[in-house]
């Protein structure tokens, strides 16, 4: 049963060419056929782009800065993760969402083409958060060390190659960020950058609240800014994932709220690695108007 449940590092299985954790691939039908409601809001990201940060902000905005309400449950309970699956009998993300009251806020890491069609048919709003490739990669490398359900990242050098080849859970970063960028004007998608949030969080919170059509005074916006700073979220048990058991997240390896900065990649990339990465990046990102700040 639940308490004695043992997790393990699931292998990745391809779903329409995208590597996903095996339990997700094995229970793909209910995800693909998920029934959206018109008032669903989706927060979509490539893993480690700032999902939790945006989840906390959205929850605070929808609750008009009511801090007590934001403390009602851990972030992964407040905003369920659509495609997450453990082997049965653990409830899946879909199990949690089907009976959830409206309006639902839903997290996903699925690339655009794997998002259940029903969301687009219902014209649902989506907030997409993107983070520069190098910081995103570094964050994922440390997360895969501590997250005991994802494949072992291997050495830094090995991980670098896997990331560039898109052979990590949820696939290619390059394809993920580009495709949502290309689609953002075809749907109600608000595209947000992690680096912009670091630079001027109040401004990005204004974009979010305007997109969600929530009226907030400047005082409340400032209250949300404060509550969503890295330092405060790191200490907040309802946001920092410390409620997840150590059989799932090994906190001796890394912490979920690890560093929360722009440019941390410089502490890990050698000059040679940077050159190879940047040359490959130019190819992968050729022809797009999507540009990132990385320092
Ligand atoms: P680092 O590993 O670089 O520290 P996700 O929620 O998508 O898994 O992303 C996690 C990353 O977002 C981690 O990056 C984490 O520290 C960072 N993060 C979470 N909350 C943040 C905040 N309030 N401000 C800045 N970064 C934050």
Using most ligand atoms within 8 A of CB, pick from 50, 51, 75, 230 the residue to mutate for ligand 1. Answer: 50
Contact status, residue 223 vs residue 56, Cβ threshold 8 Å? no
At 78 the pLDDT is 97
- Whether 109 is a known active-site residue: answer yes
Could you report the predicted ipTM of this complex, rounded to two decimals? 1.00
Report the alpha-carbon distance of residue 290 to residue 64 in Å, rounded: 32
Helix (H, G, I), strand (E, B) or coil at 60: helix
* Bridging pattern class, strands 105-108 and 125-130: unpaired
The CA 261 to ligand 1 mean position distance, Å, reads: 8
230 lines ligand 1 (CB under 6 A): yes
Nearest atom within ligand 1 for CA of residue 129: 7
Is the CB of residue 259 below 6 angstroms from any atom belonging to ligand 1? Answer: yes
Choosing from 109, 206, 226, 280, which is the catalytic residue? 109
pLDDT by position in tens, the chain (length 295): 444 456 789 999 999 999 999 999 999 999 999 999 999 999 999 999 999 999 999 999 999 999 999 999 999 999 999 999 987 777 899 999 999 999 999 999 999 999 999 999 999 999 999 999 999 999 999 999 999 999 999 999 999 999 999 999 999 999 999 999 999 999 999 999 999 999 999 999 999 999 999 999 999 999 999 999 999 999 999 999 999 988 899 999 999 999 999 999 999 999 999 999 999 999 999 999 999 999 9
Residue 122 Cα to ligand 1 middle (Å):
30
Q: Look at residue 279 and give its three-state secondary structure.
A: helix
Q: Quick check: 55 and 129 in contact, CB under 8 A?
A: no
CB 39 within 8 A of CB 103: yes
- Helix count and strand count (H, E) for the chain: 15, 6
- What pLDDT is recorded for position 2? 47
Q: How far apart are CA 47 and CA 84, in angstroms?
A: 12
């Amino acid at each position: 049963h639940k308490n004695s449940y043992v997790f393990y590092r699931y292998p990745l299985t391809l779903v329409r060419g995208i590597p996903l954790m095996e339990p997700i691939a094995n229970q793909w039908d209910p995800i693909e056929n998920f029934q959206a409601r018109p008032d669903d809001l989706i927060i979509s990201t490539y893993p480690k782009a700032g999902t939790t940060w945006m989840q906390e902000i959205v929850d605070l905005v929808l609750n008009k800065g009511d801090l007590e309400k934001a403390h009602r449950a851990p972030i992964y309970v407040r905003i369920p993760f659509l495609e997450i699956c453990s082997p049965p009998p653990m409830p899946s993300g879909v199990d949690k969402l089907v009976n959830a009251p409206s309006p639902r806020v839903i997290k996903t890491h699925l690339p655009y083409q794997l998002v259940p069609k029903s969301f687009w048919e219902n014209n649902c709003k989506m907030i997409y958060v993107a983070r520069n490739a190098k910081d995103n990669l570094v964050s994922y490398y440390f997360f895969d060390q501590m997250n005991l359900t994802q494949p072992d990242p291997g050495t830094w050098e090995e991980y670098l190659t896997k990331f560039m080849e898109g052979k990590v859970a949820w696939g290619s970063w390059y394809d993920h960020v580009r495709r949502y960028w290309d689609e953002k004007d075809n749907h109600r998608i608000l595209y947000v950058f992690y680096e912009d949030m670091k630079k001027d969080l109040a401004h990005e919170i204004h974009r979010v609240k305007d997109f969600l059509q929530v009226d907030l005074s400047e005082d409340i916006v400032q209250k949300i800014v404060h509550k969503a700073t890295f330092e405060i979220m790191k200490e907040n048990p309802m946001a920092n994932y410390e409620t997840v058991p150590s059989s799932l997240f090994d906190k001796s390896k890394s912490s979920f709220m690890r560093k929360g900065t722009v440019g941390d990649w410089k502490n890990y990339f050698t000059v040679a690695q940077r050159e190879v990465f940047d040359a490959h990046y130019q190819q992968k990102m050729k022809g797009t108007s999507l540009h990132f700040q990385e320092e």
